[in-house]
Homo-oligomer: A and B are copies of this chain.
């Protein structure tokens, strides 16, 4: 029962399975997202853009927990592919506004099947999936109010 209570042990950590799970699932997205010419980071960026139609890099970063160092090249790539446009806000020129293009909205239609394709890839019941999501958002909620 207590072979070792060594806290410096992978299986006592919470962060490690989070990190491993995250990477393993993102790997499973790859073949489905390749059909859309998107990486996972580009995909979640488009998910926010599809929903908002128009959003600043600042707000996008808050939604995705990513900073401009990550987002700038991702957004330039999405612009290159024609899915979004990038332009400065007229009210506040510091803000870069990202807008979805008609081509970006067509991509959305093609992306609609992705969640279903991914749905079966985790061997969790609906209740377990809901519980997992609840716990993850509880952890994320703490992060923001921390200090």
Contact = CB atoms under 8 A, between A and B. Distances in A.
A141 interface: yes
A142 B146 CA distance: 25
Contacts of A22: 15, 18-19, 21-22
A114 B6 CA distance: 12
Contact of A138 (B9, B18, B121, B124): B124
Interface string A6-20: 111111111111111
Contact of A146 (B12, B18, B63): B12
B9 A47 contact: yes
Interface residues of A, number: 59
A23 interface: yes
Contacts of A114: 8
Interface stretch (A76-84, A95-103, A126-134): A126-134
A72 to B, nearest CB: 17
A33 to B, nearest CB: 11
Interface string A132-147: 1101111111111010
Given A20-B140, A123-B142, 7 more contacts: A12-B115, A12-B146, A14-B132, A17-B137, A18-B21, A24-B65, A123-B139
- Please name the 4 residue pairs, one residue from A and one from B, whose CB atoms are nearest each other, closest first: A123-B142, A17-B136, A7-B115, A18-B22
